[in-house]
């Protein structure tokens, strides 16, 4: 029997597999099995699978599989969902440390009226601004890219006009796989205004998603590094799935991300579906 929890952060949805005490077969972290789980027609449907694993450095570790089976280094919405899962399952601590491929990150939990975790603030670590201006050609158009790593790569372009979603859908795939990014990259199209940042993201290994936590952090850091916004105050990042609050330290040594995490339900995979998913012809 394989039990999974369906969770989401602003519509960026995941399947959580608690692998701390048992390793089911097939493993939800197996690339092929993860792809089948995330299939929105023949599986459960999700943007990715989050595996909670043992850690010698923190209370737990987090591993990630994207919907295409690839393994990213970090997921901002995902770590909020893992923190909520751990809190709701009995780890009643105001701060929960989780080990990721991008390091050990501290998650401060805000409890809701129902006694469950409702919002999580994650200290996401130092944003590594790698390039402030990098001209890249994609789809017959030149984009000025700011390259930022939040443990995973991001290519951010600030635009004045045009539909952000249309730009992300049209040019995101080409930029993701541009020769400049041999390991591929997440791609952000952003517009800064007095209220904060409007953002649309083409995620590496997923495509368009309703929200991207690391993308919001990377974009806010890029806006501060390029003088578009000021550090030290809460920056409202507006994504299709809702709002994230991002704060960038004045010396660019830390970024804090605050946002919700929601438990949708629990799933027990049927023997019929497991046989279907294990069929090599599928």
pLDDT tens readout for residues 236-253: 999 999 999 999 999 999
CATH class of 3-124+262-278: alpha beta
Candidates 38, 75, 206, 217; catalytic one: 75
Instruction: Check residues 53 and 25 and name the one with the higher pLDDT.
Output: 53
Q: How confident is the prediction for the chain on average, in pLDDT? A: 96
- Whether residue 52 is predicted with pLDDT greater than 90 in this model: the reply is yes
| Burial of 186: CB neighbours in 10 Å, binned 0-12, 13-18, 19+ | buried
**179-190 tens-digit pLDDT:** 999 999 999 999
| 264 pLDDT higher than 70 | yes
Give catalytic status of residue 206 as yes or no: no
pTM above 0.75, yes or no: yes
Q: What percent of the chain has pLDDT over 70?
A: 99
If one compares 1 and 101, the residue with the highest pLDDT of the two is 101
Least confident of 21-25, 103-107, 156-160, 162-166: 21-25
To the query of whether residue 212 is one of the catalytic residues in this protein, the response is: yes
**pLDDT number for residue 179:** 95
pLDDT top residue among 22 and 264: 264
Q: What is the mean predicted confidence (pLDDT) over 78-84?
A: 98
Q: What is the pLDDT of residue 282?
A: 64
Burial of 273 from C-beta contacts in 10 A (0-12 / 13-18 / 19+): middle
How do residues 158-214 score in pLDDT, each as one tens digit?
A: 999 999 999 999 999 999 999 999 999 999 999 999 889 999 999 999 999 999 999
- pLDDT of 281 over the 80 cut: no
Say what the pLDDT of residue 277 is: 85
Q: Which of 38, 107, 206, 212 is catalytic?
A: 212
Which residues are CB-contacts of 170 (< 8 A; sequence separation ≥ 6)?
Answer: 139
Q: Where in the chain is the domain with CATH 3.10.310.10?
A: 3-124+262-278, 128-253
| Contact yes or no for 273/22 (Cβ under 8 A) | no
User: Nearest 10 degrees: CA dihedral of 147, 151, 153, 158?
Assistant: -50
202-228 mean pLDDT: 97
The Cα 275–Cα 75 span in angstroms is: 30
pLDDT score at 4? 97
Mean pLDDT of 36-50: 96
User: Which pLDDT band holds residue 25 (cuts at 50, 70, 90)?
Assistant: confident
Instruction: Label residue 23 by pLDDT band (50, 70, 90).
Output: confident
Per-residue model confidence (pLDDT) at position 1: 80
Q: Alpha-carbon distance 201 to 220, whole Å?
A: 13
Residue 268 pLDDT more than 80?
A: yes
Homologous superfamily of 128-253 in CATH?
A: Diaminopimelate Epimerase; Chain A, domain 1 (3.10.310.10)
Question: Does the pLDDT at position 280 exceed 90?
Answer: no
């Amino acid at each position: 029997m394989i039990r999974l929890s369906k969770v989401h952060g602003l519509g960026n949805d995941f399947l959580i597999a608690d692998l701390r005490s048992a390793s089911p077969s097939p493993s939800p972290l197996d690339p092929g099995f993860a792809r089948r789980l995330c299939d929105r027609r023949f599986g459960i449907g999700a943007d990715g699978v989050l595996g909670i694993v043992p850690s010698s450095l923190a209370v737990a570790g987090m591993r990630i599989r994207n919907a295409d089976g690839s393994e990213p280094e970090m997921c901002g919405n995902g770590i909020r969902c893992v923190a909520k899962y751990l809190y709701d399952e009995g780890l009643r601590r105001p701060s929960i440390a989780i080990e990721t491929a991008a390091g050990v990150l501290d998650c401060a939990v805000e409890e809701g009226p129902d006694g469950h975790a409702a919002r999580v603030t994650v200290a996401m670590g130092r944003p590594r601004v790698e390039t402030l201006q990098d001209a890249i050609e994609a789809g017959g158009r030149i984009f000025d890219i700011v390259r930022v790593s939040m443990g995973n790569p991001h290519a951010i372009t600030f635009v004045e006009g045009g539909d952000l979603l249309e730009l992300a859908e049209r040019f995101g795939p080409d930029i993701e796989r541009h020769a400049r990014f041999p390991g591929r990259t997440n791609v952000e199209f952003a517009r800064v205004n007095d209220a904060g940042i409007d953002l649309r993201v083409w995620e590496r290994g997923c495509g368009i998603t309703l929200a991207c936590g690391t993308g919001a952090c990377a974009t806010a850091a890029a806006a501060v590094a390029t003088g578009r916004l000021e550090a030290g105050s809460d920056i409202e990042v507006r994504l299709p799935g809702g709002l994230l609050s991002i704060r960038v330290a004045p010396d660019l040594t830390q970024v804090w991300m605050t946002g919700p995490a929601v438990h949708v339900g629990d799933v027990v995979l049927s023997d019929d579906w497991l046989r279907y998913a294990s069929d090599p012809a599928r």
